Amino acid sequence: MGGAVQERVLSVLLLEPGRVVPMPRLVEAAWGDDPPATASHQVRKAVSDLRRRIPGDGVISTEGSGYRITVTAAQLDLLEFNDRIRAAEQALREDRRPEAAAELEAALALWHGAVLSGQGGSVIESAATALEERRLVATEELFDLRLGLGLSSELVADLRTVVSAHPLRETFHGQLMLALYRTGRKAEALNEYARIREFLADQLGVDPGPPLTRLYEDILRDEPGLVLPQPPTAAVQESPPAPPARICTLPQPLTDFTGRTKEVAELLRCVDAADGSDARSARVVAVDGMGGSGKTSLAVWAAHQLADRFPDGQLYVDLRGFTPGEQPPVSPGTALDHLLRSFGVSDERIPSDTEARANLWRATVAGRRLLLLLDNAAHAEQVTPLLTASPGCLVLITSRSRLLDLDGVSWVSVGLMTPQDSAALVAATLGADRVEAEPESAAELAELCGHLPLALRIATARLRNRSSWTLRYLAERLRDETRRLDELRSPQRSVAATLHLSYMALDVRQRAAFRTFGLHPSTGIDVHSAAALLGTDVHDAESTLEFLLDMRLVQQPGVGIYTLHDLVRTFARSLCGPATAEQDASAVERLLGYYLTATDVACQILFPGREQRGTGIPAHEGSLPPCPDAEAARAWFDREHGGLLAAVSLAELHGLPRHTVCLTRNLSFHLNARGQFDDLWNVCRTALAAVRGLDDPQLLCVTLANVGVACWKVGRFESGLEAAQEARDVAVALGDRHIQAHSESTIGLLTSMLGRYEEALTLLSEAVARSAKLGAGRAEAEGLSTLSTLYEKWGRYAEAAETARRSLEISRSIGYHANLIMSLTDLAFAQVGLGELEEADENLAQARRLSELRTAPGDVGLVLALSARVAHARGRTTEAEGFAVRALELARTGATPVRLAEVENLIGHLRCALGDHQSAVVLHRHARQAAVEMGFRSEEASALAGLAQALEALGDTETADGYRAEAARLYAFMGVRSPRTVYA
């Protein structure tokens, strides 16, 4: 869950589902009577973290100053426990005692140990104690009901256990005494009373209570009321009818079958729905799923659960649609012969042709209640003759592919196991002790097995047979993708062999397509990239993907998106080799060409003013995803984000440096706008290594320029300066004035970050002038924004404001959204320096509105941090605190090191102004550490000044003076005569 605070906050919310839990109660739950000064902030952070970890929208909602969690009884055992207790109480009111007992049993079965064990804290311990009391009361009521229903000897062992665990609860002692007496063990019952009386006297100095004493006296007197009246004996029939013959050929269910609760429930619902309808023929329920997903185990388990509903028999037939050993599928005629013989039909009565056998089969089972499990079906033609028209029958079918030609069938699809079910399966097959000893390795093992039941069973079987192996050791072996399928095999079973059966059911063209899809770098394949990979049009590509979906070799998480399971992808890639190398290389090059063209189109829409440059790579001529507007282009980029990053690596792996470099250039715009700066840094480094192997100074120049920007974003100022200077030198040699201006602007930016303001001013002014002369509006706007920031940090607020207004005007004219926000923020910073707080407030409000439309988290954090400063200065303290909390959340979850340092310093100064000096010290220290690592002089100085101010207020004058002197030296180095006033 992320830590103790998150666990305790979640625990308290779950203890009061559907109710608003106020902040003070959450703080008390997390820290008791001694919370830190930042407790409320940490609770908000914990809730934010929980929202990211818990799937689903709106599970935890903010309600005023508190939070509410919304869950259903199916999600929370506490709610299910309460529901069953209420159902038991209702059943008792209606004198339905067996139903009440069943509800209590189900309620108590939800408990697997102490509630919230190890959570700590008085709030949670108090709640856990109350819940334990409710459990004990329910247990007492259940034993009362069982005793009232005539059970006695069956309860003695359970009652002795509960008496031992709770020796002070006299009710349990009384129930044990009564159970012993009713089973003819009067002496033991009296001895039990003697034991509890002695125990109470020794421990508490008291005697047993009146109810237990009266029971003891009644047992001594053999009170008739202690024995339940016997029900009247039914009249004995002189010649009881012989029970009907019952046939069962079902395989034994797995003793360690676990998980699949949702699928089992869905299958049983399908049966119940059909059972309740006006059925005129047998109910048919089919289970489909990929090889190894556990379809047969699920169907066999369900069949045994349903067996009592079908007293005339339960029959099983393996149709061998996908069976190792090259065995042909069972023909319908052979299957009918087997079924008829199971019902005792003699050889001479079984016809030779299939249609006649089918007619005889339907006549034989007419009027019977029969369950038929047809396992491993290959196609509908194999199944149809075996279906019966008798409405009392149920037919269960399992198949890898959905048999679309079967009508009137209820389908249950079996996918991968959930992580929770996988963990339960590993524990059930391997033993809970080994899993508890290595929980992280057990989770990794399940992940590496792709949550596929067959793979998990093979892996755990290997561990059972190798006692010296640890879970970690096997996980390490499975990490090597090239060996993973070899590891997941045993003498009788193999994941690869299971997948091979599905592969062999394809024709030659489909096999080639399946193998080629294994080359796709993304976890999500759409029809356009699939068409490029296969070299077909989108309609053929979609048809192929849909067929593979029917065969359960691909999955479909969303409309139009297809995925390969990890082990299926590994199997597909294992089919590639020297014989397919040429075709595979062509497929990869087509796919990369598609991605390059598609990203070009999306960038033209999203980033107006971007300079168009040739790539030397032919444009993709096939179909592209529709991008009519910026929203569609942005959605495509988001959906393909992971695939595009993987495509850069794929290009590098296949020795296609030009594709690597050009694709990185397009992707850089998207990553920068999205605030994915670590990814930006990584792909730019990959592109730089690739471009140095090309004799193309133009591409080298572009790549170096992008590396310089990426270095700035991740706080590597010196490395960025080297790259930008090299880019400028190459651009000058080429006569490329655009890259020269861009590089000089980057050099000026990084130089200003390093505190060399005079040098930065010259570089930035020249870069802005050069961009203006070239008509490069985007570059000019960026340069002016950087120049405004420099002026503001230098304390030259009037110049900063003027420059920001020029940047703002250009950004508006070309629709440069991201720079529009930063220009407004730059202008607000300058206006704060000039004392124009009302104007700054208006510009920040506009920046916040624009930030709602896809802005990097760090930039939004900076806007909010400055908004907090201005709101406080204008007397809106509550609003300022809200801005500050949100700013820190954004900065800490998705900001660059540069933005994080800026935001922490701004909020640190605010905390100091509010009198929260300890919090200010924490923020400034963290900001200073980051600034020192980057060489970010202005924020290092700001952090030092803030530390001096906060520590002085805390009484540490000596340390404060030291920090103040360090700050003064840095300001002198930068040429800042009088540091900007933070707060009056």
Residue 722 burial class via C-beta count within 10 angstroms: exposed 0-12, middle 13-18, buried 19 and up? middle
Number of helices (H) and strands (E) in the chain: give both, helices first. 45, 11
- Choose between 512 and 257: higher pLDDT: 512
- Choose between 198 and 154: higher pLDDT: 198
Place of tokens 């406080």: 872
pLDDT band of 241, cuts 50, 70, 90: very low
The rounded distance, in Å, linking the Cα atoms of 307 and 301 is: 10
Assign 756 to helix, strand or coil: coil
Least confident of 112-126, 128-142, 395-409, 861-875: 112-126
Residue 3 burial class via C-beta count within 10 angstroms: exposed 0-12, middle 13-18, buried 19 and up? exposed
Nearest CA among 874, 820, 809, 872 for reference residue 848? 820
Q: What element of type H or E holds 605?
A: helix 581-606
Are 763 and 747 contacting, i.e. CB atoms less than 8 angstroms apart?
A: yes
Are 67 and 47 contacting, i.e. CB atoms less than 8 angstroms apart?
A: yes
Neighbour-count burial for 382-414, b at 16+ CB within 10 Å, e otherwise: bbebbbbebbbbbbbbbbbbbbeebeebbbbbb
Structure-token pair, residue 370: 């029969």
Place of tokens 């799923």: 289
Nearest CA among 488, 435, 486, 498 for reference residue 459? 488
Nearest CA among 252, 262, 371, 246 for reference residue 301? 252
Residue 788's contacts (CB-CB under 8 Å, 6 or more residues apart) are 800, 801, 803, 804, 807, 823, 826, 827, 829, 830
Give the model's pLDDT for residue 978: 59
The rounded distance, in Å, linking the Cα atoms of 377 and 788 is: 71
DSSP H helices, 372-418, are 380-383
Give 865-886 pLDDT, tens digit per residue: 999 999 999 999 999 999 999 9
Give the model's pLDDT for residue 161: 84
Nearest CA among 285, 290, 314, 287 for reference residue 298? 287
Percent of the chain with pLDDT over 70: 95
pLDDT band of 256, cuts 50, 70, 90: confident
Give the model's pLDDT for residue 235: 39
DSSP H helices, 204-353, are 210-220, 261-276, 295-306, 332-342
Maximum mean pLDDT: which of 143-147, 855-859, 920-924: 920-924
The rounded distance, in Å, linking the Cα atoms of 369 and 142 is: 36
Query: Which amino acid makes up residue 669?
Result: F
pLDDT band of 43, cuts 50, 70, 90: confident
Residue 799 burial class via C-beta count within 10 angstroms: exposed 0-12, middle 13-18, buried 19 and up? middle
Percent of the chain with pLDDT over 90: 36
Structure-token pair, residue 865: 């941090």
Neighbour-count burial for 158-188, b at 16+ CB within 10 Å, e otherwise: bbeebbeebeebbbbbbbbbbbbbbeebeee
How would DSSP label each residue in 30-73? HHTT---TTHHHHHHHHHHHHHHHS-SSSSEEEETTEEEE---T
The rounded distance, in Å, linking the Cα atoms of 438 and 789 is: 52
Give the model's pLDDT for residue 853: 65
pLDDT band of 929, cuts 50, 70, 90: very high
Are 9 and 23 contacting, i.e. CB atoms less than 8 angstroms apart?
A: no
Structure-token pair, residue 652: 């590098």
Give the model's pLDDT for residue 676: 83
Residue 704's contacts (CB-CB under 8 Å, 6 or more residues apart) are 688, 723, 724, 726, 727, 730, 743
Q: Is the pLDDT of residue 969 over 70?
A: yes
pLDDT band of 50, cuts 50, 70, 90: confident
Mean pLDDT value across residues 362-387: 88
Q: Is the pLDDT of residue 735 over 80?
A: yes
10 sits in the region (left: phi over 0; alpha: psi -120 to 50; else beta) called alpha
Q: Is the pLDDT of residue 106 over 80?
A: yes
Q: At what angle do helices 566-574 and 495-504 cross, to 10 degrees?
A: 70
- Choose between 901 and 283: higher pLDDT: 901
C-alpha dihedral over 308, 312, 314, 316, to 10 degrees? Answer: -170
Are 923 and 885 contacting, i.e. CB atoms less than 8 angstroms apart?
A: no
Sign of the dihedral defined by the CA atoms of residues 875, 881, 886, 892, in that order: positive
Mean pLDDT value across residues 73-96: 86
Sign of the dihedral defined by the CA atoms of residues 821, 822, 827, 828, in that order: positive
Are 868 and 831 contacting, i.e. CB atoms less than 8 angstroms apart?
A: no
Residue 773's contacts (CB-CB under 8 Å, 6 or more residues apart) are none
Give 743-759 pLDDT, tens digit per residue: 989 999 999 999 999 99
Nearest CA among 516, 509, 553 for reference residue 532? 516
Q: Is the pLDDT of residue 85 over 50?
A: yes
Nearest CA among 901, 823, 927, 831 for reference residue 873? 831
Sign of the dihedral defined by the CA atoms of residues 964, 965, 970, 971, in that order: positive
Sheet with 555-558: strands ordered across: 525-526, 561-563, 555-558
Q: Is the pLDDT of residue 234 over 50?
A: no
How would DSSP label each residue in 447-486? HHTTT-HHHHHHHHHHHHH-TT--HHHHHHHHH-HHHHHH
Place of tokens 């993708």: 481
Q: How are beta strands 410-413 and 283-288 bridged, if at all?
A: parallel
pLDDT band of 661, cuts 50, 70, 90: very high
Give the model's pLDDT for residue 228: 67
Question: Average model confidence (pLDDT) for the chain?
Answer: 87
Mean pLDDT value across residues 637-661: 92
Give 770-822 pLDDT, tens digit per residue: 999 988 888 899 899 999 999 999 989 999 999 999 999 999 988 888 788 89
- Choose between 34 and 300: higher pLDDT: 300
Are 187 and 171 contacting, i.e. CB atoms less than 8 angstroms apart?
A: no
Are 691 and 703 contacting, i.e. CB atoms less than 8 angstroms apart?
A: yes
Assign 508 to helix, strand or coil: helix
pTM, 2 dp = 0.63
Give the model's pLDDT for residue 239: 35
Residue 659 burial class via C-beta count within 10 angstroms: exposed 0-12, middle 13-18, buried 19 and up? buried
Maximum mean pLDDT: which of 339-348, 386-395, 472-481, 859-868: 859-868
pLDDT band of 275, cuts 50, 70, 90: low
Q: Is the pLDDT of residue 333 over 60?
A: yes
Mean pLDDT value across residues 570-585: 91
| Residue positions counted in the chain | 984
Mean pLDDT value across residues 144-163: 84
Sheet with 60-63: strands ordered across: 21-22, 66-69, 60-63
